[in-house]
Structures are given as structure tokens and as C-alpha cells.
Amino acid sequence: MATATTIETVTIRRPLKVIAFICGVIVLLLMIMALVSTDWLMAAGWRQGLFMHCIEEKAQEPLPFNTKGGTGCYAARDVAYIKASAALCVITLLTDLVATVLTGLGLRTKDHHTKFKYYRFAVIVMGLSLAAILIALIIYPVCFAAELNLGNRTIWEFGWAYGVGWGVAIFLFSGVVLLMCDKESEEIYYKERKIVHDNDSRA
């Protein structure tokens, strides 16, 4: 009987990184909702999104920002802050997609050096995504306030889609923190295993 000792490398999927991946997926869904919605900014008879604005039936004249048109939805006004916010939100969607894919590849791969590279790049890209959405969420209300005198309405409110944008920021921040706080050394541990070989020979 011969005994040999081998050392196995065991890789564990850390729960925090799995949660970070889930946060990335949730951000993708929320960003799609925010991009297609026209409920970023609302007033009586008026809804404005990043790519379209809608005029409701029997909306009071004059219309906000002196726009013209009947009931229905039209392309977004040619205003710099709306275009900038839309571009930043698209960047948020794309960069989060990349970060989520990188995190998923990190969870999937068994080579620990490659795994850590995926996680590092995922943190950087997800951080860029967070910065983009935060800039969009800040410039949108600030620049709207600058043109409020052209609004032709006394009451304005930010719709659910703008709130979804802040939800995106929260999930992105959570994803970045989870990826940064989960230590690389916790991913791998080594295990000894004894193997017994039967060397007896029989005639």
C-alpha cells in the first residue's frame, strides 16, 4: 500500500460577487425602462422623456416651452441638456452591460488570475457607468430649472422614470462596493487529499 498526498485548488464563488452580478442585471432592466419612458418630467397635459415628449388631449395652451402640435408624442425638443442626459444614459446602459458580462465571466472562469482580472475591469467599467448616470441625474433638473420660465405651467414634477434613474445609481454603487470589498484571497483555498494506491501484485 502506498500513500500519496496531493494539493487541490478549490475556487469558490463568493456570494458578494454573485450579488454584484445580479445588481448589474437589474440595472440593465431599469435603464431600458428609463430610456423608453416619457415620464421623466411632468406637468398638466405634458410629459417629457429623453427621446420623446407627449401632449395629452385638451392640454392647456400655451404648451410648455412654446412647442406646437396636437395630441400625441413627438421627438424630444432640440435642447442640449436633454440630448446630453440621453447620451449619458445610453453610456450607462452599455457600460453596465460590459461590466455585468465581465463579472459573469469572472464567476464562470476557474483560473484565478483570469478571474481577478475580470473583476478588476468590471469594477472600473461599472464605476464609469455610475459616474455617467449621476451626471445625467444632476444636469437634467439643474438645466430644466434654468428654462423654467418658459414652462408655461405652475406645477412641475419629476416622474417615475427619473426616480428609476436614482434606483440605477443605487444598484450600480452597490455593485461597485461589493466587487471592491470582496477580497481576492477569499476566492481560493487549498485542500490536501491523501490517495492510497494498492501496489500488491498477485501471481
pLDDT, average across residues 36-53:
93
Task: Find the range with the poorest average confidence among 23-27, 80-84, 193-197.
Answer: 193-197
pLDDT tens digits, 123-167? 999 999 999 999 999 999 999 999 888 888 889 999 999 999 999
Q: What are the tens digits of pLDDT across the range 96-120?
A: 999 999 999 998 888 888 888 999 9
What's the whole-model pTM score? 0.82
135 alpha carbon, distance to own chain's centre: 14
Find out whether the peptide bond into 141 is cis, omega within 30 degrees of 0. no
The alpha carbon dihedral of 158, 173, 85, 28 has a sign of: negative
| Contacts of 64 by beta carbon, 8 Å cutoff, 6+ apart | 43, 46, 48, 150, 151, 152, 153
pLDDT value at residue 151: 84
Q: Quick one: 103 exposed, middle or buried, by C-beta within 10 A (0-12, 13-18, 19+)?
A: buried
Most confident stretch, 56-65, 80-89, 104-113, 190-199: 80-89
Residue environment code for 147-177, b if the CB has 16+ CB neighbours within 10 A, otherwise e: eeeebbbeebebbebbebbebbbebbbbbbe
**Residues listed for the chain:** 203
What pLDDT score does 148 carry? Answer: 87
110: CB partners within 8 A, 6+ apart: 11
Q: What is the dihedral of CA 120, 126, 128, 131, to 10 degrees?
A: -130
